Structure 1
């Protein structure tokens, strides 16, 4: 290989590394900290939302406040209860219920299921750093996920809610499993 070719490749590699590093540090600043912070990717402005405010959004089709909204995931008479966060993606998910989906294990830290219909990513952060018990939507793949292990920062991951009970049951399920997800009265 000639010197010019090597320098061109090295220059491309350095530039892409620089751009990736800049984007990652900016994402981490927007993601870490308060779960009530959403970023607008087109302007990178941080907008705080108060989950206790009654919001009248056209996206939620009559559901004005998701402060105490829970869903039930049922598999083989076992129940997992999830409290949903108040954001456009969670409201979009809630509007699709009830659903029956098949979950499978992914990387020994989460159970995932691809949805038939993608959820909105309106006003969503560019990513998040999930923890055990998080219920989330991974927008690049169009799947919902239940975290039972630790995971690092993930671009495109939108937290939908938090598992209130039953997270310990997830780790012990090894095979694919069907789950009915429904609104909890």
Structure 2
């Protein structure tokens, strides 16, 4: 599934994986979802999600790469990585930013509206 991440007048695009966690995240997008992204550890932008996601079948840990959308299960938050990082327990890949990663690199906090891309 393709999604759009709107920050002010700019739009980043991303593709969600075909996993239980990514499908559960997509279910949150039946209506656009507005979140506040904050800086975390310089290399990621994070935001609390309205509910926990299913991690059924997900590996116990993941080593994120720049541009990945992930879910950190212990905290229940979305994490968008701006740079690669070490393997972390409880981190689940949701998908990847296709275009506009620079839009998400601005210092936080800032608002982002996430929605399904039109078919």
Same fold (TM over 0.5): yes
Distance in structure 2 (CA, Å) of the matches to 1:83 and 1:117:
21
Question: Once superposed, what is the RMSD of the aligned Cα atoms?
Answer: 0.8
Higher normalized contact order (CA 8 Å, seq sep 6+, divided by chain length)? 2
Partner of 2:11: 79
* Structure 1 runs (4+) greater than 4 angstroms displaced: none
In the alignment, structure 1 residue 159 sits paired with structure 2 residue 110: no
Which structure dedicates a bigger proportion of its chain to helix?
1
- Which structure has greater strand proportion? 2
Deviation at 1:169? Answer: 2.4
Q: Which runs of 5+ in 2 are unaligned?
A: none
TM-score when scaled to structure 1? Answer: 0.61
1:180 partnered with 2:113:
yes
How do 1:9-158 residues align onto structure 2 when only pairs under 5 Å count? 69-97=1-29, 98-158=32-92
- Kindly state the Cα deviation for residue 90 of structure 1 after the two structures are TM-superposed: 0.4
- When the two structures are superposed, what TM-score results if normalisation uses the length of structure 2? 0.94
Structure 1 gaps of 5+ residues are: 1-68
Matched pairs, number: 116
* Secondary structure of the structure 2 residue equivalent to 1:175: coil
Q: Which has the larger radius of gyration?
A: 1
Structure 2 Cα separation of the partners of residues 122 and 140 of structure 1: 14
